[in-house]
Structure 1
Amino acid sequence: MKPATCLLSALLALCFPLHSRTAALSSREVASSMVTQWEFDDVANISTFLLDRESGILYLGARDAIVAVDTANKLKSPKIVWNVPEEKSRSCVTKGKTEADCNNYIRLLEFLGDGRIYACGTYAFDPQCAFVNISNFTLEKSEDGREEMETGKGKCPFEPSQHYTAVMAGGILYTATTSNFLGTLFDISRATGIEQERIRTERSINWLSDPEFVGSAFIQEDQNNNPMGEDDKIYFFFTEVAKEYDLYTKVKVPRVARVCKSDIGGMKTLQRRWTTFLKAQLVCEDRGSGQRFNVLTDVFTKQHQPGDPSSTHFYGIFTSQWEREEMSAVCVYSLEDITKVMDGPFKELKKSCENWMNPEPVPTPRPGQCLNSALKAEGFDSSLKLPDKVLTFMRDHPLMENSVVSAPLLVRSGVTYTKLAVTLTPVSNGNSKLNATVLHLGTDHGELHRIAVVGPNATLLQELPLFPASEPINNILLYKGEALVSSPNSLVKLPAEGCTLYPTCEVCARARPLGCVWREKEAACSLAVTEPGEVLNPEDLVSRCGRSEDRCSPEMKDLHVAEGLHVLLPCVQVSPRPCHWQHPPQRHTRRHLSDLEVRVTLESNGTYVCFCEEAGREQPACPRAAYRLLLQEPSASLSIMQASSRQFVAGYMLFFIIGFLVCGLLVCLVHRRRKKGGGGHSSSTSEKGRDLLPSSDTPQSPSSASLFSEAVPFAEKRNGTLNGHGGHMPERKCGYIYSNSSGLKLQDTSVNLAEGFPGRERAGPEGEEEGLGDGLSDIGDGLAGLEEELAKLHMLRGAPLAQCEESSI
């Protein structure tokens, strides 16, 4: 962008958006008054949360450190330093990793139940685990004074950024992670406990195919309400490449997998492998538009009825593999629906020619089911007693035929959600009672969004900026009516519930499904006293805060802009339902949430109106913002600045070309002087080569850094294979060096340079590119003279022919 254009863009960006960002500024003020922030010395890359709900102490896993934070008091937080020895870090770097990655990133913190915390870190790509004594908050040490550690392979990922999940179930650790240095092997395993019972998934793409693990949950059966004697289960959520689709590209699908707590593997088949591993596809599809979201990024587990495991629901954040713009959706799945799919038919993956084979008959007892009272009555009280035919079927059929289907609670464009937490608020709607779901969503730009969902209606309540835009939210934890939120470098605490969160009449009215009402006298939002049978529409309440005509008839703003500017047109969105813009057809725009960025061109003149859906889908969209872009002629000063900018570029190019020619001339003069000094006697090839090659290299050495070594040809591949022999070359100018019977030939690169800069061969309207073609022809003449001199060097006559590189699909 030109300097004058940059200056005007900055001025417009400062002027226009200010008055339309009132809602965002008020959110910042509210956030600053409610937020408690902790600052840590020398602590970065916070990635792991572990909360002691009795004491309120929050343990943070970070880079080379574990921090204990008292969430009730803003006191100085003690820290454990657990770093990598210097020699181990150097060894990690020599294996091709960066210095930043060769630290110890704490990825796992879990209570052991005996007053200790089990902590695991990447430890310079060699995962290690240690024990934290909670009473004195120190790492346990061995007799020689070193930290007492054990291998963390299979318990913790090797790389800091690898997707990973783990859950503790009955004192036993279950993990889903990579299990090798290269990150190519993936396991869902029982990582601790009795050695003979540490089992994992089969190494087969039918079981796991390039998975990206997202979350896990331990569902423990209610001992007082479990008539079938069902076993406890562990659920894993991930995204993997689907092998059931025959397409030319890799199709990602979200999955849920289930294993049983009492599974210890098979006797002959599936030894030390899961005999209960089943997985099913999760479908998050907007039925109205038919759009499907196929990449799962986060999962939150919530019991809708506390104490009842069967009421468990899983809320997931989804994105789309196919959408170019940022887009996020939230879908929810019940444990009951997942169980029905796991008890349904198996998918047959085997194929013969072009016809699907008849599915194999399902043996008995049913493969993949957890132990229960009925199986134990039949004599199958352990997975070791299952027949081989059952285990063989299980090994070949881990995928279920049916999918777990859900419609999105909300879909938002222009935003990427990273973390999710959910609270349920019981509300009264007439004579019926239902739960209002409040979604606490963290973005990749450090914002916390709160969205209330009641039935089919979703309402955006807050957008709170908590961290700098460069810091994504990576943890959200709800505790005693408060939310603990972290980015890689910061931790904050703010209220998660209550009507006082909503400072304006309009936002409070939209929180009416949560039981909130705006008090005019107090100018505050507080809990409502709802009379039996009272039904109030939030849209009606919003209209009381201001005339609907004012809200849906925005004032037209005229913006005088210059060509080349990038103008941001704000649109305040009060609902998570989508907003769309009406604008001229020939325009260059890009969306930023509900805002619109316009690059001003001659065709950009016209009216831009933002429409947002606020009520139900059956209601017409409400205009929220309107702008009229008026293109004005550039001022004289702008023309002068543009002209000076073009002159500067032309001068720079001329200086570069002259410098290149002078260097070439000096090389020729030096070479001729050396040749004259060495004339009159015969010299060997090695003696002439000393002027061009380092003393330790030879023309045949692969380590030679010379441009004329056969190990460094300009083009050395043809159809993906190395070509080290001579041959007939097609007449193409590729900028390579080769030799034949007549000696060395240096191909003219002037055509190549012209092709490397599209449009350079055509002078612009102002003539800013004039003289470039002449300069390149001069370079070609200089290279032709250098070519004749180099042809006399005998050392180069044996160089192999390097063919031009071709690409093939």
Structure 2
Amino acid sequence: MTLRGVMLILLPVCCLLSGGSRAATLGGLGDTILGPKTFLGVSNFSTFLLDRSTGMLFLGARDAILAVDTNKLNERPRKIVWDVPEEKRRSCVAKGKTEVDCNNYIRLLEFLGDGRIYVCGTYAFDPQCAFLELSSFTLEKAEDGGVKMETGKGKCPFEPSQHYTAVMAGGTLYTAATSNFLGTLFDISRATGPEQGRIRTERSINWLSDPEFVSSAFIEEAPDNNPTGDDDKIYFFFTEVAKEYDLYTKVKVPRVARVCKSDVGGMKTLQRRWTTFLKAQLVCEDKPSGQRYNILTDVFTTQHTPGDPSSTHFYGLFTSQWEREEMSAVCVFSLSDISKVLDGPFKELKKTCETWINPEPVPTPRPGQCLNNALKADGFESSLKLPDKVLTFVRDHPLMENSVTAAPLLVRKGVRYTKLAVTLTGSGDERRGAVLHLGTDRGELHWVAVVGQNATLLQEIPLFTSQEPINNILLHQGRALVGSPLSLARVQAEGCALYMGCEVCARARGLGCEWSTEEKACRSTTAEPGPGDVVDDALRKCHTEEGRCTPSIRELRVSLGLRLLLPCVQLSPRPCGWDHPPDRHTRQHHSDLEVTVTMDSLGKYICTCQEAGPGIRDPTPCRRAAYQLTLEDPSAGGTIASAGGRHVLAIYILFFFCGFLLGVFLLYFVTRRRSMSRQGRHLPDNSLSSEKGRDLLGSSATPQSPSSASLMSEGFRLTEKRNGTTTSTTTTTLLSNQGNGGPHGNSYSGTLINSNPSNGHGNSLYGNLNTSSSGLKFTSEILAADLLDGRTGERERVRPEGGERESGEGDEVDEGLRDGLGEGMKKLEEELSSFPMFKSPAPLAKCEESSI
């Protein structure tokens, strides 16, 4: 059997195994998932725009715009190509940018209201905008036949990875983006409309200090319930470096900023600048523990009472600058609380003592307020008529003294959420709670029920591969449209029928769900739950002893010296503690417990968290996890726990295939050497430097680069310039078997994603699709691994018919082989160490407590 024959047999088997695993992961969900094959070779989806009247979803991608009918996902998407001319791409590369970045990444899609969509893209670091005709689904053409374009500076970022957000308000575009090639200037601006009305923020660090824009929202006053004649407002959410804290490190704080729709700037002071720009700090903090979450990653805007703008709430997704472990928290802020803070005292830095104080006095009319009936009655029909003292004050004091504070609804350790959407249950005064739809950076969708002050994890659904972070979630007609840079999924998002089992349905009892024993299904109910704990009462009807605060004890059979981590899912922001046998070989990491097994550490381990009880604010203890560590039976020959059995089996299968391949190569090489010995042929002195030698051995004198078509696709490090500073970003390699791999087929095995979470229209997740037409290749180190004897590291040469061992040139060749093989085995060990299954768990670093 030749080497080519072995590869031809094994390659289809490996493809079938991996493809079957993927299908099994996504099957059985009852929902529709579209992969890269469906999208006609288009990737890097970053912007979603949904026409709710027709269900048509528009996706902004790299060099293309797609239209997908969410009601008929089996139909092929419509596609518009809007790429960059080759000459412009070369000019972009000549300026120091990468070829990947020098494409046209569509970052803005907004309806204009006249049957067109306003489209903007990075266009090789020269942002351009165009108009998409919905009736014909084509871009408007210029007189020369090309795409009719206008400058996108101030409307769209220059770089694909830059944080960005935009919102359309009454046909006018408001954006928050960088406005120069280097990415060092930041503007919140009115980007379209009459030229005299295009205004922006002041170029001052007191206004914007190295911000990372997240989201924006247009809040329109109710026309039938606006007695003061207040103006419509636009809110922007971002994270920036705080200037009010004088610390040794840069402290990041989340902000909310507000501008007014009718603002046209000042007459002399603040010409073409906002006169109503005010900002305040958002504080998401659990006061009992003192934990503060200061990095804002996403915001979802919703009205608790549909049609009432005053009932608007903003659900914010946070993480912490100070925590070394991945963590996420959700806080909710009301529009009324934000308005109270923006109407409160201003913050000022007094230059004499470098301390922040409240300024006195505040001029009249109040700086930063929107136009209303009272101001118009006093003769201020426009911001152009405001006095200079008012404009000077608001220019120097954009920050408010008070902060908008909220306690977290949810805290999860070890999970990094990237996107958030919220479904409210009930209506009006009968509002029961909310369901949080949370997307992770590993392609999962989590559902969390929030009732009162308690959060309950309902389900965790894997939608995409672990290398595809979720970067878009849209809710429409009871469904969630979930997107990644490569894929799109449509899943059911509302209704008690989501919860398939009795236990899951019981955990959603606070949302109005109840398990029907006759139908064996979860159904909605209007009956109020009885007194006591809602979830525990519902769980008892499932004939299970396990409740929300009474988990069943899991027995773990362990061996001495084993190091394991006992998980405890913390859904409440309250602290968790462990009761366990007195042993010094334990260490708690947030809510989880690390245990090194000794004879003294065997026994029961119970995790208890502090949660809010029904109808009261005082935290009460709730048991979240229970384990029993038992020493495994030595006569059992190393019993494998069922939880890890599949992983061990997978490792055995991997070693079997590796051994099989090594055996085939060893047989092939020995047979080759014997035939050469019989014919009396010997390698020359310089055989190790010949072309045949290079094919088999890694030369220590000539470094060799790894093959681009090895077992794992190569990952190229992309360089991200965030706000003008070059930083290293993590590049992950997607392994997929889509594409035929032929010379004319697109292969997605080389798809690279640069993950840089952002929100609004700034989901800057993009990658590079490499076309590969070659098959799998093994590196020379693996080929040479068969030549070593297991005991001495040397290979016995085949003796000639005379029975005496050859010497001279053969010995020199063997020495060269051993040198090359030693180098090859060292490289093989380095390659194997990069696989997760061969890595030993890294020691966990001690957490450092920091506070603002």
Contact 1:588 1:604 (C-alpha < 8 Å) held by counterparts: no
Matched residue of 2:489: which SS? strand
Distance in 2 between residues matched to 1:203 and 1:278, nearest whole Å: 15
Q: Deviations over 1:37-91 (max 9, x none)?
A: 3631211111101111111100000111100000001210011111111121122
Identity over the aligned pairs, expressed in percent?
A: 68
Amino acid at match of 2:539: V
Matched residue of 1:389: which SS? helix
Query: Per-residue deviation at 1:129?
Result: 0.7
1:474 aligns with 2:476: no
Distance in 2 between residues matched to 1:47 and 1:390, nearest whole Å: 41
1:515 aligns with 2:512: yes
Contact 1:187 1:201 (C-alpha < 8 Å) held by counterparts: yes
Per the alignment, do residues 556 and 435 of structure 1 end up closer, same or farther by CA in structure 2, a change over 3 Å counting? closer
Deviates more, 1:28-37 or 1:615-624: 28-37
2:605 paired residue number: 609
Distance in 2 between residues matched to 1:410 and 1:231, nearest whole Å: 34
Query: Per-residue deviation at 1:164?
Result: 0.4
Matched residue of 2:376: which SS? helix
Per the alignment, do residues 29 and 144 of structure 1 end up closer, same or farther by CA in structure 2, a change over 3 Å counting? closer
Distance in 1 between residues matched to 2:249 and 2:565, nearest whole Å: 36
Per the alignment, do residues 515 and 90 of structure 1 end up closer, same or farther by CA in structure 2, a change over 3 Å counting? same
Query: Per-residue deviation at 1:610?
Result: 5.6
Which of residues 464, 483, 486 is equivalent to 2:483?
486
2:291 paired residue number: 291
Query: Per-residue deviation at 1:234?
Result: 0.4
**Structure-to-structure mapping, 1:288-687, within 5 angstroms:** 288-353=288-353, 359-426=359-426, 433-530=430-527, 537-548=534-545, 552-560=551-559, 606=602, 609=605, 611=607, 613=609, 616=613, 617-628=619-630
Amino acid at match of 1:51: L
Contact 1:446 1:468 (C-alpha < 8 Å) held by counterparts: yes
Distance in 1 between residues matched to 2:546 and 2:438, nearest whole Å: 32
Per the alignment, do residues 539 and 91 of structure 1 end up closer, same or farther by CA in structure 2, a change over 3 Å counting? same
Amino acid at match of 1:234: I
2:41 paired residue number: 42
Contact 2:413 2:570 (C-alpha < 8 Å) held by counterparts: no
Amino acid at match of 1:481: G
Distance in 2 between residues matched to 1:131 and 1:365, nearest whole Å: 42
Contact 1:461 1:574 (C-alpha < 8 Å) held by counterparts: no
Matched residue of 1:352: which SS? coil
Query: Per-residue deviation at 1:528?
Result: 2.1
Contact 1:495 1:501 (C-alpha < 8 Å) held by counterparts: yes
Query: Per-residue deviation at 1:614?
Result: 9.1
Per the alignment, do residues 141 and 33 of structure 1 end up closer, same or farther by CA in structure 2, a change over 3 Å counting? same
Matched residue of 1:488: which SS? coil
Which of the pair has the greater relative contact order for Cα pairs under 8 Å at 6+ separation? Answer: 2
1:788 paired residue number: none
Q: Deviations over 1:529-564 (max 9, x none)?
A: 51698887221111232443696341422123777x
Distance in 1 between residues matched to 2:328 and 2:399, nearest whole Å: 27
Gaps of 5+ in 2: 1-21, 614-618, 639-654, 656-852
1:64 aligns with 2:75: no
Distance in 1 between residues matched to 2:121 and 2:233, nearest whole Å: 26
Query: Per-residue deviation at 1:134?
Result: 0.7
1:77 paired residue number: 77
Matched residue of 1:349: which SS? strand
Per the alignment, do residues 228 and 275 of structure 1 end up closer, same or farther by CA in structure 2, a change over 3 Å counting? same
Matched residue of 1:237: which SS? strand
Distance in 2 between residues matched to 1:307 and 1:187, nearest whole Å: 31
Amino acid at match of 2:490: K
Matched residue of 1:92: which SS? helix
How high is the TM-score relative to the length of structure 2? Answer: 0.67
Contact 1:561 1:632 (C-alpha < 8 Å) held by counterparts: no
Amino acid at match of 1:46: F
Contact 1:553 1:624 (C-alpha < 8 Å) held by counterparts: yes
Per the alignment, do residues 455 and 620 of structure 1 end up closer, same or farther by CA in structure 2, a change over 3 Å counting? closer
Deviates more, 1:566-575 or 1:309-318: 566-575
Distance in 2 between residues matched to 1:331 and 1:356, nearest whole Å: 27
Contact 1:303 1:309 (C-alpha < 8 Å) held by counterparts: yes
Distance in 2 between residues matched to 1:438 and 1:64, nearest whole Å: 36
1:55 paired residue number: 54
1:258 aligns with 2:258: yes
Contact 2:455 2:571 (C-alpha < 8 Å) held by counterparts: no
Matched residue of 2:437: which SS? strand
1:190 paired residue number: 190
Distance in 1 between residues matched to 2:477 and 2:82, nearest whole Å: 31
Query: Per-residue deviation at 1:114?
Result: 1.2
Provide the alpha-carbon RMSD of the alignment.
3.2
**Structure-to-structure mapping, 1:204-283, within 5 angstroms:** 204-283=204-283
Matched residue of 1:338: which SS? helix
Query: Per-residue deviation at 1:202?
Result: 0.2
Query: Per-residue deviation at 1:222?
Result: 0.9
Deviates more, 1:322-331 or 1:28-37: 28-37
Larger radius of gyration: 1
Distance in 1 between residues matched to 2:415 and 2:263, nearest whole Å: 41
Contact 2:104 2:123 (C-alpha < 8 Å) held by counterparts: yes
Per the alignment, do residues 520 and 603 of structure 1 end up closer, same or farther by CA in structure 2, a change over 3 Å counting? same
Distance in 2 between residues matched to 1:102 and 1:588, nearest whole Å: 51
Query: Per-residue deviation at 1:461?
Result: 1.1
2:646 paired residue number: none
Amino acid at match of 1:131: F
Matched residue of 2:541: which SS? helix
Amino acid at match of 1:291: Q
Distance in 1 between residues matched to 2:211 and 2:526, nearest whole Å: 50
Per the alignment, do residues 358 and 262 of structure 1 end up closer, same or farther by CA in structure 2, a change over 3 Å counting? closer
Query: Per-residue deviation at 1:607?
Result: 5.3
